[in-house]
């Protein structure tokens, strides 16, 4: 392959601004491709890496970013059929061969690779990535631009897998805790599956937003304790003749307070999915799970097999993406990170490489 001159925003030191650096791609393996990045979403996990609250597997310096869409610009010998194709790069790339992969649990493959964590990520003009599990897109994206689809690679697919894992079905009651970048889509997926959705958040603005995108009811929980939240939900259940039991509870806030609330809402035959991540610790009475004969599961990323139905939902409009994203030039990434840390971003930021 011909050499490709590229550039990226490198994470060099904890707590410090990212540095723009050039690099050259002059060789790739037979199983890799080079993707010219169209867009890369800014995830809460990226903020954790930068602050030092979450560690990367790859040594620094490292290009972060794992919500990536782009066009294949060069290929190894095994994937020449992908040249010129528009793709989404799954945030979790499994090996496809191990015990977990063969058991259908490839999202938690112990040989998995994650862009912007295990190898150089998507806050760059180009990325070298294993080709096997890329999500290939049609040439015609309808009303969408390629960069807009980048956030499918985590914010939208992760809650979709959680919904599948929970066994949620039409007529169920789904309770979504936290309506940020993941919770908003969790509510949409549950709504599209025919469930009644109650969404909880401490931000009144987010509650109002999610009520326009799938939630039947919203509760602003600022200043409320767990007992008050449970009372408010039970009132909604009684007033609207909703299911008393078998609730599907999805914790997406990634906070100890949110996880405490989620666990306190367990009822008979309930299912609790933990989707948000925190290093915080809780003190829980696990016997509640036994007493309620409840199910509890965690969710890590999303298997590549679930990407196609999510892409279809975005393209046909059943999943609302347009109202939840905002684009910035990649060169302004440090400024966007500051906005995100100050909670001044109301939409998912997508970084688009500057034309040079």
Residue 81 sits in the same domain as residue 150: yes
pLDDT-above-70 percentage for the chain: 100
Q: Are 319 and 188 in contact (CB under 8 A)?
A: yes
Q: Number of folded domains in the chain?
A: 2
Residue 15 sits in the same domain as residue 71: yes
Residue 96 sits in the same domain as residue 126: yes
Q: Are 126 and 4 in contact (CB under 8 A)?
A: yes
The domain boundary, picked from 298, 324, 340, lies at: 298
Q: Which of 335, 229, 212, 75 is nearest to 220 (CA)?
A: 229
Residue 260 sits in the same domain as residue 172: yes
Dump pLDDT digits (tens) for 160-203: 999 999 999 999 999 999 998 899 999 999 999 999 999 999 99
The domain boundary, picked from 283, 298, 313, lies at: 298
Residue 24 sits in the same domain as residue 66: yes
135 vs 13: CA distance, rounded Å? 32
Domain range holding 323?
4-154+302-352
Residue 223 sits in the same domain as residue 112: no
Residue 153: pLDDT over 80: yes
The domain boundary, picked from 298, 317, 333, lies at: 298
What Rg value do the Cα atoms of the chain yield, rounded? 20
Residue 111 sits in the same domain as residue 170: no
Residue 314: is it exposed, middle or buried by C-beta count within 10 angstroms (0-12/13-18/19+)?
buried
Tell me the CATH number at 290. Answer: 3.40.50.720
Residue 262 sits in the same domain as residue 324: no
Tell me the CATH number at 85. Answer: 3.90.180.10
Residue 356: pLDDT over 70: no
Residue 217 sits in the same domain as residue 347: no
Residue 17 sits in the same domain as residue 136: yes
Look-up of token digits 């060169």: 331
Residue 227's pLDDT band (cuts 50, 70, 90)? very high
Residue 74 sits in the same domain as residue 184: no
* Residues sharing a CB contact under 8 Å with residue 34, sequence separation 6 or more, in sequence order: 1, 4, 25, 28, 72, 73, 74, 75, 126, 127, 128
121 vs 123: CA distance, rounded Å? 6
Dump pLDDT digits (tens) for 53-109: 889 999 999 999 999 999 999 999 999 999 999 999 999 999 999 999 999 999 999
119 vs 59: CA distance, rounded Å? 9
Residue 219 sits in the same domain as residue 250: yes
Instruction: State the pTM of this model.
Output: 0.93
Mean pLDDT of 27-33: 97
């Amino acid at each position: 392959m011909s050499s490709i001159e590229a550039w990226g925003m490198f994470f060099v030191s904890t707590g410090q601004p990212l540095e723009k650096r050039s690099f050259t791609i002059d060789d790739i393996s037979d199983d890799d491709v080079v993707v010219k990045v169209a867009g890369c979403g800014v995830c809460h996990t990226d903020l954790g890496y930068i602050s030092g609250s979450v560690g990367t597997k790859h040594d620094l310096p490292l290009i972060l970013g794992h919500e990536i869409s782009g066009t294949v610009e060069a290929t190894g010998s095994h994937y020449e059929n992908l040249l010129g194709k528009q793709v989404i790069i799954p945030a979790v790339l499994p090996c496809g061969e191990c015990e977990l992969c063969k058991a259908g649990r490839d999202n938690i493959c112990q040989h998995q690779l994650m862009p912007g964590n295990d190898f150089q990520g998507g806050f760059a003009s180009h990325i070298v990535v294993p080709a096997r599990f890329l999500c290939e897109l049609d040439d015609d994206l309808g009303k969408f631009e390629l960069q807009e689809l980048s956030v499918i690679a985590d914010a939208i697919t992760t809650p979709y897998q959680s919904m599948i894992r929970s066994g949620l079905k039409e007529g169920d009651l789904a309770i979504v805790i936290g309506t940020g970048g993941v919770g908003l889509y969790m509510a949409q997926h549950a709504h599209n599956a025919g469930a009644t959705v109650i969404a909880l958040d401490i931000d009144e603005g987010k509650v109002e937003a999610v009520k326009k995108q799938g939630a039947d009811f919203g509760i602003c929980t600022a200043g409320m304790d767990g007992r008050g939240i449970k009372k408010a939900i039970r009132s909604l259940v009684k007033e609207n003749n909703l299911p008393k039991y078998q609730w599907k509870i999805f914790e997406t806030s990634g906070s100890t307070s949110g996880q405490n609330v989620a666990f306190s809402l367990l009822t008979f035959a309930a299912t609790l999915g933990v989707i948000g991540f925190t290093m915080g610790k809780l003190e829980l009475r696990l016997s509640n799970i036994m007493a309620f004969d409840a199910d509890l599961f965690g969710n890590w990323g999303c298997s590549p097999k679930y990407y196609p139905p999510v892409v279809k939902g975005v393209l046909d409009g059943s999943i609302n993406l347009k109202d939840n994203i905002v684009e910035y030039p990649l060169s302004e990434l440090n400024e966007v990170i500051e906005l995100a840390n100050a909670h001044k971003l109301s939409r998912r930021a997508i970084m688009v490489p500057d034309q040079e």
